[in-house]
Amino acid sequence: MARSGGTRVKILEAFGLGRPVVATTMGAEGLDVEPGRHLLIADTPEAFAAACAELLDDPQKALQVATAASAWVQEQHSTAAIRTAVADSVVVRSLLS
């Protein structure tokens, strides 16, 4: 839990697969997500275990978190979203030239 190398990619992959995620603050750093809505954040082993247990004990909450995360990753990281971001960047660069 103390290391975060590659964790953001793993989080995005889990989001895309419709899986609920528990991560540390460091692991989710840089992702524009809302803790409690898109994933659960836990920074100690005890809190991490409790968050995992919460999702296992409450399938409805696990589904809500996974569904919100899946929608977020589609909005932010789908091919269409990336295409739009690249096109917008090209337009801005051409206006600045």
> pLDDT-derived band of residue 3, with 50, 70 and 90 as boundaries?
low
CATH code: domain 7-96 is 3.40.50.2000
pLDDT: which is higher, 78 or 30: 30
> pLDDT-derived band of residue 77, with 50, 70 and 90 as boundaries?
confident
**The pLDDT of residue 89:** 78
Q: Locate tokens 């295409």: which residue?
A: 83
**The pLDDT of residue 95:** 67
Task: Tell me the pLDDT tens digit for each residue of 20-69.
Answer: 999 999 999 999 999 999 999 999 999 999 999 999 999 999 999 999 99
Nearest to 69 by CA among 21, 29, 1: 21
pLDDT surpasses 50 at 1 = no
pLDDT: which is higher, 46 or 2: 46
The domain ranges of the chain are: 7-96
- The per-residue b/e assignment along 22-49, b for 16 or more CB within 10 angstroms, e otherwise, is bbbeebbeebebeeeebbbbbeeeeebe
